[in-house]
Amino acid sequence: MKTFLVGHSADKGGAEALRLAATLARAARGRVVAAVILPQTWDHPSPAMVDAEYAAFLERHAARTLAAARAAMPPDVPAEYLARHGASTAAGLLALAEETDADAIVLGSSRKAPMARFQEGVVASEILRSAQVPVALAPRGYDALSGGVSRVTCALSASEHSIALARRAGQIAAGFHAALRLATFIVRDRQMYPSDAGYDAENLVANQFRRQAHALHDRIRADWPDEALPECVLGDGRNWRQAVGALDWRPDELLVIGSSGLGGLMRVFVGSNSGKILRHALVPRLIVPRLTA
């Protein structure tokens, strides 16, 4: 991963996305493409010159926003600054990702999210259902450190897809010159069991899932292509927030989450469990499409 396309906007979410893109580019020794997507305008002005005035306003807005991005970009990170028109911000970013051969799209969080967490806005929601490249998400309040990425944690389920995802996470970690950690989350949600089942049933199911997770981790490590094996951990809690919070998280960490099996091939689609991990994690996330090798 070398080229990080960031959808920049003149707000805090845009600034946080820009900082994450710079952090990832620095870690990968790559570059940032900072883009402003403008609404489409008519090819010719109306008799009242309304369209021409509106187009001029948009161009001034783009110039100011890109100037702010240029001023905020760390000097050690190569960057390009572009303005494009699109039917929507998401459509414009997806088209530009193809045009620039971007390896990832970087987005900020909705302001509705709690601090240090992520919540989809309209643009992120559309891109997370349509992108054919990984999508990096900056949590609200994200403030990049001077370094890069020290560790990549990959969230794994018990499915066969997790083996390919772990390999992909290993490639991503190597590209960022970072350590790799494989994590599986065990949620002891009482709503999963009948009211009269009691804690014994809850513990039986959780312990069985724990054994499956250990077996999956052992299988991945046994077939690992490198000498340096990934660390393997379990996050256990009464709910998703507790399970995710049970692990230690570094300030310069990146969480890799795989796209749901419900999504189209080679497209990002966040499933139910992935979405819960995405919402509760305290570090930037990278959602990777299915079957990306």
**In this predicted model, what pLDDT tens digit does every residue of 171-205 receive, in sequence order?**
999 999 999 999 999 987 654 444 455 556 567 77
Q: What is the CA radius of gyration of the chain?
A: 21
Distance, first Cα to last Cα, the chain: 12
Task: Give dist(CA 132, CA 8) in Å, integer.
Answer: 20
The number of CA neighbours under 13 Å toward the Cβ of 229 is: 11
Residue 3 has pLDDT above 90, yes or no: yes
Rounded to whole angstroms, the Cα distance separating 66 from 14 reads 11
| Domain architecture of the chain: domains with CATH | 1-144 (3.40.50.620), 149-293 (3.40.50.620)
Say if residues 187 and 240 touch (Cβ distance below 8 Å): yes
pTM: 0.88
Tell me the C-alpha distance between 181 and 249, whole Å.
11
Rounded CA-CA distance 263/221 in Å is 27
Report the sign of the C-alpha dihedral through residues 101, 105, 106, 108, in that order. positive
pLDDT at residue 292 in the model: 42
Residue 243 CB contacts under 8 Å (≥ 6 apart), including other chains: 185, 186, 187, 235, 236, 237
Residues 6 or more apart in contact with residue 141 via CB below 8 angstroms: 16, 115, 116
Whether 156 has a pLDDT exceeding 50, the answer reads yes
Model confidence at 49, pLDDT cuts 50, 70, 90, reads low
Instruction: Look over the chain and give the mean of its residue pLDDT values, rounded to a whole number.
Output: 86
**Amino acid 165: pLDDT:** 94
